[in-house]
Structure 1
Amino acid sequence: MSEKVLLVDDEDAIREILGLSIADLGYEVQTAGSGEEALETLELFSPTIVLTDIKMPGMDGIELLKRVKAENPDIEVIMISGHGDMDLVVKSLQQEALDFITKPIRDELLVSALRRAADKISMRRQLREHTLNLERIVKEKSARLVELERQLAVGQVVEGLSSAMRCLVETCDEGMGYFNELPCFISIHNRYLEVVAVNQLYRDRLGDKTGQQSWEVYAQRQGSGNACPVAMTIEHGTSQRSRETLMDLEGREVPVIVHTAPIMSKEGQVELVIELSVDVTEVGRLQEELRSAREKYHRLFDSAPCYIEVVDRDFNIVEANRRFRQDFGEIRAAKCHDVFKHREDPCQECPIIQTFDDGESHQWETVVTTRDGAQRIVLIQTAPVHDEQGNIEQVMEISTDITQIRELQDHLASLGLMLGSMSHGVKGLLTSLDGGVYKVEAGFKRDDPGRLREGWAIVKDKIGRIRKMVLDILYYAKSREAETAPVDLAGFASDLAAIIEPKAALRRVAFQLEAAPDLGSMDLDETAMSAALVNFLENAVDACAEDDTRPEHHVVLKVAADARNVRFEVADDGMGMDQETREKMFTLFFSSKGSRGTGLGLFISNQVIERHGGTIDVRSEPGEGTSIIVTVPRTRSA
């Protein structure tokens, strides 16, 4: 089906042109010139995708995003940024925007963003439909099977009714009326193994066997020596239950479950035997249909391209699909928060708890860790599973891996952040460039060669720096390699110590540099690597300063090298980290500092070290401090 798109922008030309482009792609489009108008259109148009500008007079795009998600979380929102303000971009992603694109809008980016939104909506719609259909099929088949099993249970009360049946037999004309109403084969036998009465269903399907021997209706039984159920009841004086095969009037075999019960005389001897036979053909067919439905459910369950698990009220995983077991192992009866997050307690924003509370479906985006240590960014959606009384006994959790989507967004976001951070530098360079131009013009006016040379030197220097900055942005956008040059490692370590030592002293944390002799030199992108290591050092100082369990704290920077690798270790005796924090620390926008952190520093540090071919090893426990070991090869492989 074609998705509906609501386009929101305060510029008429953009609404007109972009609306035509979206309509050409096959979407049904409505436009709105403001956030307020968009909310009114939302109720009438019911779009599945909203494409909105961030900067608008009145209600801006961020506020519109919050209102849309609050009223309908299933609507996918794509943000348009025309001002390069990455704070707004970060806020939009934190408010669950699916994607963002920048002006001027390129057709391929628009097509890609709309396709991702449509694919996500389609997948969510299909999963919801499959879940509802499967629940309905299983309930219908189960109800029919239960009804037939109830019929089979009739035989279990035969013995208790034997005395009443005796009275009915004694007044046969009246008793047979009741027999004829029962939906099973009923016959009464005397102690000489002769049939003395049958009900109407018996007569219609098997024939009127009155006066014949008890065993003659059975297939492959000849004579009482074959111990038919009636003979067994007369011999032992007790009720019998067995699976048998009868022959109908057309010679076809009829599988049945036979129940027999003795009717005693006043002397306590078996006088009559009542036999009830229930046709199990329909039961077998329904059991086969139920088995087929369950197999189909499990095939769909295991073939779904996402993680699916069923969780009870104690957070135990009672069922999981194949992909979940492949990535997280055979974890039946394990706790979901332990498997996904390595936590002892349930997650604070757990959607399973919310679904148990209100019976509604909920969404949550988070980072999980597989049994191999790989991190996956997943979008979780929950659905309640009801019992026969309509109570929620379990919750189904469907987790879609969106790691690749978020990696692309992370790259775009970090590029935008670089542009934002460089804007101040560009402004300073432009101001200096104006000063150089002023000096050149003054030199021309006064015919002053010295002033001309001085002004031209400033202009030349600033143009070169602007050129390098622009090239850096272009290289970063294309995932460029690190620009390395030979760096003296001893001097590099001393420069790091000079940067961090005043900051540590200001927060009353002792700092120590331990650099091995004869470190030599190696090729590094000095500026980028320095910023990456300073991030680790500043975090170590913060972890010590915020820990009040010890009177004194220390941060140590150790630098060692051999012929192949250079090893930087940042060690502190501060607060430490739990496993969940260690696994998330290099994720974009994740920060353990709350509102004081942006979640950018360690993400960028990790990228810098990866571009140098290096690795990061984090060792930390709560209350035990942290050690971060960065190993960089002297010679990078191709």
Structure 2
Amino acid sequence: MAEKVMLVDDEDAIREILGLSIADLGYEVETAANGEAAIALFSRFAPGIVLTDIKMPGMDGIELLKRLKDLNPDTEVIMVSGHGDMDLVVKSLQFEALDFITKPIRDELLVSALKRAAEKITMRRQLREHTLNLERIVKEKSAKLVELERQLAVGQVVEGLSTAMRCLVETFDDGAGYFNELPCFISIHNRYLEIVAVNQLYKERLGDMVGKNSWEPYSGRQGSGNACPVWMTITDGKGLRSRETLVDVNGQEIPVIVHTAPILSKDGGVELVIELSVDITEVGRLQEELRSTREKYHRLFDSVPCYIEVVDRDHTIVEANRRFRQDFGECRGGKCYSAFTHREDPCQECPISLTFEDGQSHQWETAVTTRNGDQRVVLIQTAPVHGESGEIEQVMEISTDITQIRKLQDHLASLGLMLGSMSHGVKGLLTSLDGGVYKIEAGFRKDDPQRLREGWAIVKDKIARIRKMVMDILYYAKSRDTELEAVDLEAFAKDMAAIIEPKAALKNVAFRLDVAPDIGEIQMDETAMSAALVNFLENAVDACSEDDTKPAHEVVLRLTGDARRVRFEVADDGMGMDQETREKMFTLFFSSKGSRGTGLGLFISSQVIERHGGSIDVTSSFGEGTSIVATLPRVQSKN
């Protein structure tokens, strides 16, 4: 019978979660929200173990400990506190508390404390039982010893019993250990189909059948002609195994597996038959208990409000909870890095690999994309799963969606982070400006027009970069309403070409403008959209200039549309991107350029297009180029 545990804590979440954990350890659990409720529950529930918080409103844990010890000194009380205060520890032990543990409660400490309490209760109960019933136990053991000596006097009985036991054990896949957990009825029958002896369990469950006919314990057997197992063994002289139904003292049917073994006389005839019957309803009970436990753990696994996956050493997903499957698909049997981060190889900072290496829990924050295209920022925590040998067989990865937290942090602290991340870039631009100024001054001193042109080109380029950086800062740092106006798309496209074509020519990248005839007008914030498209175009030029695998490169700005929408496409045949980069490219402060990028441009571009009620589609393959399509409505809806 499971030990009863009363859990006392004023926090609902702790009572629910801790209560479930204690129940899963095999204890019968009731909970109370305060000391007064605990006293009332104690009288009704009569627990052997009490787990109580110390800091509670009203009656605190120390007072509850004293009251419980007054009601029942044998109650084992485990004190819980959020603070490791030595005075509380000493006071708890003075009032005979069994143990003292601190929050957050570690599983191994909880298991150890409960086990120690249960063992102490069991030892006390056994000692009391042995003390009170010593005479009865001696008598019963003596009677069993006499009976055993009588049975051992017949060597053939022992041999037959051993044969039947071996036969019965072989019936079950799990061997002798499984057999020993099941109840077993043992009876001995003579050649006249009479029961001559039964074991204690047989008497308790089926009644004292000694002297009865061998077929009478069975359901539906009315005589020897019904071919009961004993009759068949006497007839052919061989041990048998069969499924039968017995009837207990209350008239209830008991399904059993029956084994019979003959005991031969000196002339070779069957003199006695040993019959062993195993109650297989216990098998069904154990199976149902196992099924219920698995179902409970599965419900808990699926109801956790975060992503959980269990991964083996090959990064194969062994199990995943419902939320993971809903957002990333039925991925069991696939690789975790493919399902979660859409990579072809394990992540460089993979916490799963680190946990397999050192057995420790690791954290990692990253951005992932669901199968519906929604981006999530997740905080990953790993934990090792040990096998029976103690080695790490699997790793559990728990990922918490912190997207909203990160958005709040971005709004509160992004300006400071932005300035910090851009300081190095500003320093580099100022150094370059100094170089340009030096060339201009040298050109003036030496009356060298070539140096003047080179220096002025450097100054113009760096001023343009500083201007763009400052505009990005102002756009992101200051809330700005969208200023809508009717814009001629062809003229707008030519302005874009005038901005980007010289920059592309400096990097030996061809630029082409492709505008559909009669493209017409659109309602948009021309300044904001210009900045957004320039970001796309400059990234395209950079992707081409950094790709040395092709002899020539081209960037295309293409405008097409219909009566309702306009498509702005920026296409290049440069380096391209892998899937992970594509999914993170519009994330704040993410840059594939290292220290040369601020991680602001594409983020701001996506914000501009979103404010226009538009959408962005990105198509890219590593080494083949990229196409970014921004689709905007021609007329903005009125909010």
User: Quick one: distance in 2 between partners of 1:482 and 1:544?
Assistant: 32
Q: Map Cα deviations across residues 99-141 of structure 1 (whole Å, 9 max, x no partner).
A: xxxxxxxxxxxxxxxxxxxxxxxxx979x869x98xx99xx9x
SS at match of 1:551: coil
- Which residue does 2:523 correspond to in 1? 523
Quote the offset at 1:396 in angstroms.
2.3
User: Quick one: distance in 1 between partners of 2:10 and 2:200?
Assistant: 60
- Which residue does 2:610 correspond to in 1? 610
Summarize the Cα distance change of 1:422–1:369 in structure 2 as closer, same or farther, 3 Å threshold.
closer
Paired residue type of 1:364: W
- Which residue does 1:380 correspond to in 2? 380
1:233, 1:240 within 8 Å by CA — same for their partners in 2? no
Paired residue type of 1:568: F
User: Quick one: distance in 2 between partners of 1:310 and 1:225?
Assistant: 59
Summarize the Cα distance change of 1:243–1:348 in structure 2 as closer, same or farther, 3 Å threshold.
farther
Quote the offset at 1:569 in angstroms.
1.4
- Which residue does 1:587 correspond to in 2? 587
SS at match of 2:360: coil
User: Quick one: distance in 2 between partners of 1:580 and 1:265?
Assistant: 83
Summarize the Cα distance change of 1:594–1:242 in structure 2 as closer, same or farther, 3 Å threshold.
farther
Q: Map Cα deviations across residues 490-524 of structure 1 (whole Å, 9 max, x no partner).
A: 33323322322232223222222233454444333
Summarize the Cα distance change of 1:289–1:478 in structure 2 as closer, same or farther, 3 Å threshold.
farther
Quote the offset at 1:381 in angstroms.
1.8
SS at match of 1:217: coil
Larger CA deviation: 189-198 vs 168-177: 168-177
Q: Map Cα deviations across residues 319-347 of structure 1 (whole Å, 9 max, x no partner).
A: 22222232233333232222212223222
- Which residue does 1:597 correspond to in 2? 597
2:160, 2:261 within 8 Å by CA — same for their partners in 1? no
Q: List gaps (5 residues or longer) in structure 1.
A: 4-123, 141-166, 426-468
- Which residue does 1:247 correspond to in 2? 248
Q: List gaps (5 residues or longer) in structure 2.
A: 1-8, 12-102, 119-150, 166-179, 427-469
Q: Map Cα deviations across residues 442-498 of structure 1 (whole Å, 9 max, x no partner).
A: xxxxxxxxxxxxxxxxxxxxxxxxxxx99x97x977865412334343333233223
User: Quick one: distance in 1 between partners of 2:157 and 2:420?
Assistant: 99
SS at match of 1:361: coil
- Which residue does 1:170 correspond to in 2? 154
Q: How does 1:334-483 map to 2 (within 5 A)?
A: 334-414=334-414, 480-483=480-483
Paired residue type of 2:241: Q
- Which residue does 2:184 correspond to in 1? 184
- Which residue does 1:117 correspond to in 2? none
Quote the offset at 1:532 in angstroms.
1.2
2:161, 2:274 within 8 Å by CA — same for their partners in 1? no
1:490, 1:520 within 8 Å by CA — same for their partners in 2? yes
Q: TM (normalized to structure 1)?
A: 0.59
Paired residue type of 2:611: R
Quote the offset at 1:409 in angstroms.
2.5
User: Quick one: distance in 1 between partners of 2:555 and 2:621?
Assistant: 16
- Which residue does 1:565 correspond to in 2? 565
Summarize the Cα distance change of 1:492–1:213 in structure 2 as closer, same or farther, 3 Å threshold.
same
Q: How does 1:313-328 map to 2 (within 5 A)?
A: 313-328=313-328
Quote the offset at 1:606 in angstroms.
0.4
Quote the offset at 1:395 in angstroms.
2.4
Quote the offset at 1:636 in angstroms.
0.9
SS at match of 1:372: coil
2:384, 2:394 within 8 Å by CA — same for their partners in 1? yes
- Which residue does 1:12 correspond to in 2? none
2:193, 2:213 within 8 Å by CA — same for their partners in 1? yes
User: Quick one: distance in 1 between partners of 2:548 and 2:614?
Assistant: 34
Summarize the Cα distance change of 1:528–1:419 in structure 2 as closer, same or farther, 3 Å threshold.
farther
User: Quick one: distance in 2 between partners of 1:313 and 1:516?
Assistant: 54
- Which residue does 1:307 correspond to in 2? 307
Q: TM (normalized to structure 2)?
A: 0.59
- Which residue does 2:509 correspond to in 1? 509
SS at match of 2:508: coil
Quote the offset at 1:577 in angstroms.
1.8
Alignment of 1:276 with 2:249, yes or no, is no
User: Quick one: distance in 2 between partners of 1:406 and 1:278?
Assistant: 62
Summarize the Cα distance change of 1:518–1:204 in structure 2 as closer, same or farther, 3 Å threshold.
closer
Paired residue type of 1:624: E
User: Quick one: distance in 1 between partners of 2:418 and 2:361?
Assistant: 38
Quote the offset at 1:593 in angstroms.
2.6
Q: Map Cα deviations across residues 608-629 of structure 1 (whole Å, 9 max, x no partner).
A: 1111222211111222211111
Quote the offset at 1:575 in angstroms.
1.6
Summarize the Cα distance change of 1:421–1:221 in structure 2 as closer, same or farther, 3 Å threshold.
closer
Summarize the Cα distance change of 1:518–1:393 in structure 2 as closer, same or farther, 3 Å threshold.
same
Summarize the Cα distance change of 1:266–1:488 in structure 2 as closer, same or farther, 3 Å threshold.
farther
User: Quick one: distance in 2 between partners of 1:234 and 1:598?
Assistant: 93
User: Quick one: distance in 2 between partners of 1:604 and 1:598?
Assistant: 11
Summarize the Cα distance change of 1:333–1:265 in structure 2 as closer, same or farther, 3 Å threshold.
farther
Larger CA deviation: 405-414 vs 616-625: 405-414
Quote the offset at 1:307 in angstroms.
1.9
SS at match of 1:503: helix
User: Quick one: distance in 1 between partners of 2:10 and 2:402?
Assistant: 23
Quote the offset at 1:305 in angstroms.
1.5
Q: Percent identity?
A: 72
1:229, 1:242 within 8 Å by CA — same for their partners in 2? no
User: Quick one: distance in 2 between partners of 1:243 and 1:346?
Assistant: 57
Quote the offset at 1:262 in angstroms.
4.3
User: Quick one: distance in 1 between partners of 2:234 and 2:589?
Assistant: 82
2:160, 2:274 within 8 Å by CA — same for their partners in 1? no
Quote the offset at 1:572 in angstroms.
0.8
Paired residue type of 1:320: A
User: Quick one: distance in 2 between partners of 1:335 and 1:225?
Assistant: 64
SS at match of 2:215: helix
User: Quick one: distance in 1 between partners of 2:484 and 2:494?
Assistant: 19
1:535, 1:605 within 8 Å by CA — same for their partners in 2? yes
User: Quick one: distance in 2 between partners of 1:212 and 1:421?
Assistant: 94
User: Quick one: distance in 2 between partners of 1:174 and 1:560?
Assistant: 96
Quote the offset at 1:268 in angstroms.
7.5
SS at match of 1:214: coil
SS at match of 1:186: strand
- Which residue does 1:553 correspond to in 2? 553
User: Quick one: distance in 1 between partners of 2:421 and 2:486?
Assistant: 27
Quote the offset at 1:607 in angstroms.
0.4
- Which residue does 2:333 correspond to in 1? 333
Paired residue type of 2:527: T
User: Quick one: distance in 1 between partners of 2:331 and 2:306?
Assistant: 17
User: Quick one: distance in 2 between partners of 1:307 and 1:206?
Assistant: 53
Paired residue type of 2:404: Q
User: Quick one: distance in 2 between partners of 1:170 and 1:422?
Assistant: 96
SS at match of 2:216: helix
User: Quick one: distance in 1 between partners of 2:568 and 2:251?
Assistant: 89
Summarize the Cα distance change of 1:172–1:420 in structure 2 as closer, same or farther, 3 Å threshold.
closer
2:535, 2:602 within 8 Å by CA — same for their partners in 1? yes
Q: How does 1:27-66 map to 2 (within 5 A)?
A: none
Summarize the Cα distance change of 1:566–1:172 in structure 2 as closer, same or farther, 3 Å threshold.
closer
User: Quick one: distance in 1 between partners of 2:386 and 2:224?
Assistant: 52
Summarize the Cα distance change of 1:176–1:365 in structure 2 as closer, same or farther, 3 Å threshold.
same
Paired residue type of 2:363: Q
- Which residue does 2:540 correspond to in 1? 540
1:168, 1:175 within 8 Å by CA — same for their partners in 2? no
Quote the offset at 1:630 in angstroms.
1.6
- Which residue does 1:54 correspond to in 2? none
Paired residue type of 1:557: L
User: Quick one: distance in 1 between partners of 2:348 and 2:551?
Assistant: 32
Summarize the Cα distance change of 1:229–1:395 in structure 2 as closer, same or farther, 3 Å threshold.
farther
